[in-house]
Structure 1
Amino acid sequence: MNLDLRLILPLVIIQGILVLIAVIDLIKRDKSAVRGGNKLIWILIILFASMVGPIIYLTVGRTE
């Protein structure tokens, strides 16, 4: 295995897991339990903001 691939593969796996967890959580939550009440905006942030998007959603996007 190439050295570059061994360095990048764990990051790709972690990003995939974070995106999956954030999307599943977003789907399960009611619209009123999401900050701003707009699930479409949050799904776009999760999917297109790379590794930062799911972290932002999981830390500040949810209301308890």
Structure 2
Amino acid sequence: MQLGDLGLQVILPVAIIELILMVIALVDLSRREKEETRGPKLLWVFIIILGNLLGSVVYFTVGRRSGS
């Protein structure tokens, strides 16, 4: 199975968006105090990195405490 030009045109932007979100989530996590996250920060690092796009979205929706 070969990945054609159309496949690359779809996968590349999604991969770039995923990488950008991951970096933003990791930077945000590193700048927050321990009390400003729900759960251990190291756990969130693993969720963000191993969860790919979904890990970053989960961090932004669940991992940060409201009002922060």
> How does the TM-score come out when normalised to structure 2?
0.87
Q: What is the Cα deviation at residue 47 of structure 1? A: 0.2
| 4+ residue runs over 6 A deviation | none
In 1: Cα distance, 2:59 partner to 2:52 partner:
12
Q: What is the Cα deviation at residue 4 of structure 1? A: 1.2
Task: Identify unmatched segments of 5+ residues in structure 2.
Answer: none
Q: Which of 25, 28, 33 does residue 30 from structure 1 map onto?
A: 33
Percentage of matched positions with identical amino acids: 44
Aligned residues: 63
- Give the number of the structure whose alpha-carbon radius of gyration is greater: 2
Task: Identify unmatched segments of 5+ residues in structure 1.
Answer: none
> What letter matches 1:62 in structure 2?
R
In 2: Cα distance, 1:16 partner to 1:59 partner:
18
Residue 21 of structure 1 corresponds to which residue in structure 2? Answer: 24
> How does the TM-score come out when normalised to structure 1?
0.92
